[in-house]
Structure 1
Amino acid sequence: MCACRGTAGFAHVSCLAEQAKILFAEAEDNNLGAKALQARWDRWDRCSLCKQHYHRAVACALGWACWKTYVGRPETNEPRMNAMKRLGNGLSDGYHHADALSVQEAELSLLRRLGAPADVILLVQSNLAITYTVLGQQAEALRIERDVYSGTIKLNGENHHDTLQTANNYASSLMNLKRFEEARSLLREKVPVARRVLGESHELTLKMRSVYACTLYKDNGATLDDIHEAVTTLEDAERIARRVMGGANPITSVLETLLRQARARAALRAREETPSSEA
């Protein structure tokens, strides 16, 4: 459940969890700096070989393992709070969205009670909005995403990774409510920034391009040129994702599905615009 190929892509989840636990404990015991601590903590959700995030069942299992490892610590302990986040994200990645919502709501309540920094609160709110979206509560998701996007701009500026992430989430919520033109307008501004700042092959850049394509071909008022632009965008993004992340990665799979849908929409619109031979 990462981008490793061949036998390098196989490991016991229990071994991954034990390795992450030992490495982080060593960093704590030796009073290593923040950078080293973060690098060790990343082993809970990122492959040490290919550097890609784990996904689906592996992400969910490691989320539970992480939470069980640190749940006995005081609620103000940073690894415990991070473990709660890891559990919520893992449950969401494993399609246990109702359970993820409960964890994320509890996490937000705890952080507000403890007076956590604004950037931490915004991140949890963003994750919460994504879960609301998956559960079909689109209006609530849009309300949160709008506030998170505005707060992130004030905190980090227009070109920061977190601003681009929240912009993509906000655009997705607009699209889910069929407010396609608003979503397109936002992404036309932000996708070029992501390509410049993060690079063409960054997963967020690919996600933003996929959402932009969806705002084109899913709009009932789309022209054939709009749909062709969507197809071209998805073809390019899918090719990059397959080369960088592999065919089994969720981003690649989603792009493949969207590309099939866009091509089918293009074929349908072409037939609709072709004059009948009897005319």
Structure 2
Amino acid sequence: MILTQCPCCAAPLPPTSAKQCSRCKTRYCGVACQKKHWEEGGHDKLCRKIRKGGGAEQYNANKKYTEAVAVAAEECAEDTKGQTCYICTQALHWKTKEGLVRGCSCRGTAGYAHVSCLAEQAKILVAEAEENNLDLKVKRARWARWSACSLCEQRYHGAVACALGWACWNTYAGRPESDTPRQLAMNLLGVGLYQAQHLEEALSVREAALSMARRLGGPAEHILTLQGNLANLYGQLGQKEQALRLRRDVYAGTLRLHGEEKEHTLIEANNYAMNLLDLRRFEEVKLFLRKMLPVAQRVLTDSHLITLKMRCCLAMALHDDPSATLDNFREAVTTLEDVGRIARRVLGAKHPFVGLTELRLRNARATARARELNVSSLADELEAMTPT
């Protein structure tokens, strides 16, 4: 992870004034920990190796990247069996001997690649854009190669996103803090760790990113994005009230900056609704989403992932509300059926959202059937009690 803790005592490190090893730049909370780590923690044996690896941050990034690539290739092994990389055309990478991955919505034999090949492709494209001072739109498109498939244009997910996050951070970690690609790489690593459910590591990275952005006087939009990322993690780690407070502030700030009919605002609207759902504030969810869904459908279309997530959230609010009626259950089932069909067609069967939607649909159908049986049974009882 981003090195924000003392390697000796695990205490948080000050952002700029931490004591560091003069040789390998490993940072410590003080002289005592540095001395103890050298004498008792094995740093005397690792110091030269870390220095040769580019310093503490770079050495750690390279180590984590190698581990993440191995995990991604192992998780994709069954799907990639007998395939070749669409970039280098080999089954095993010529240098690293790593296996193939595919974490997007490509079909058939398309989209199989080595993480190293994807990373090298992205690195070259970004470097070319920097060297030629290409315009911002082109730079953003080039940068997207770090996180999205160049063939189907879907963002990578799961272990593949995590491996590419480490690849990106490994590429730019040695640059100055004020360097834009380094800041973007830190954010991408946080997303990748979150995708792979390495939540504690993701929290450390995202807190470091927010602290750095505030220290450097980053733009309001960027800080809002970082706050939103932290809100996601607070929710995942069970700190739901803290997550909701932060999410409400992020949505309000994004609405002020962009207005209601922008993708950024709709993303934050969906995130805010999800936090309300986590806290079982069902009426607020329903009122809010019935207002925002028509906007999302008009601006993003019915097949956009954010629109699908909003519809799924509304269905769960209808289904989970203790005061739900049979009509509410039926609406939830109908909505989830439609969302599932669209998601499978657009995202592919292996996308996590598809599996989650289908699980929710099974549960909603079971609940609706049980309620229908109860209503039918009650009607029969009432009919039997009615005098003839």
Q: TM-score, normalised by structure 2?
A: 0.70
Aligned to 2:250: 148
Which of 112, 123, 140 is matched with 1:10 structurally?
112
Q: Deviations over 1:222-250 (max 9, x none)?
A: 11101111111111111111111111112
Deviation at 1:273, TM superposition (A): 2.3
Q: Aligned partners of 1:109 and 1:272: how far apart in 2? A: 55
Q: Deviations over 1:52-96 (max 9, x none)?
A: 000001000000000010010000000000000000000000110
**After the TM superposition, which of the residue ranges 161-170 and 58-67 deviates more from structure 2?**
161-170
For the pair 1:228 / 2:330, whether they are aligned, the reply is yes
For the pair 1:203 / 2:296, whether they are aligned, the reply is no
Deviation at 1:275, TM superposition (A): 2.3
Runs of 4+ in 1 over 4 A off after TM superposition: 276-279
1:158 partner SS: coil
Deviation at 1:154, TM superposition (A): 0.9
1:174 aligned partner, one-letter code = L
Q: Aligned partners of 2:154 and 2:139: how far apart in 1? A: 18
Aligned to 1:21: 123
Gapped regions of structure 1 (runs ≥ 5)? none
Aligned to 1:212: 314
Map 1:47-196 → 2, pairs under 5 A:
47-196=149-298
The alignment's C-alpha RMSD in Å is 1.1
2:141 partner SS: helix
Q: Aligned partners of 1:106 and 1:62: how far apart in 2? A: 19
Contact 2:326–2:368 (CA<8 Å) still a contact in 1?
yes
Aligned to 2:92: none
Deviation at 1:18, TM superposition (A): 1.1
1:3 aligned partner, one-letter code = S
1:166 aligned partner, one-letter code = E
Contact 2:162–2:192 (CA<8 Å) still a contact in 1?
yes
Q: Aligned partners of 2:156 and 2:227: how far apart in 1? A: 22
Aligned pair count reads 279
Which of 7, 23, 37 is matched with 2:139 structurally?
37
1:147 partner SS: helix
Deviation at 1:218, TM superposition (A): 1.1
Q: Aligned partners of 1:86 and 1:258: how far apart in 2? A: 29
| Larger helix share, 1 or 2 | 1
2:109 partner SS: helix
Deviation at 1:179, TM superposition (A): 0.5
Q: Deviations over 1:257-279 (max 9, x none)?
A: 11111111211222232325666
Q: Aligned partners of 1:46 and 1:59: how far apart in 2? A: 9
2:350 partner SS: coil
Aligned to 1:271: 373
Q: Which has the higher contact order (CA 8 A, sep 6+)?
A: 1
Q: Aligned partners of 2:199 and 2:363: how far apart in 1? A: 25
Q: Aligned partners of 1:173 and 1:180: how far apart in 2? A: 11
Q: Aligned partners of 1:149 and 1:24: how far apart in 2? A: 31
1:175 aligned partner, one-letter code = L
Identity of aligned residues (%): 58
Deviation at 1:23, TM superposition (A): 1.2
2:286 aligned partner, one-letter code = R
1:228 aligned partner, one-letter code = R
Deviation at 1:219, TM superposition (A): 1.1
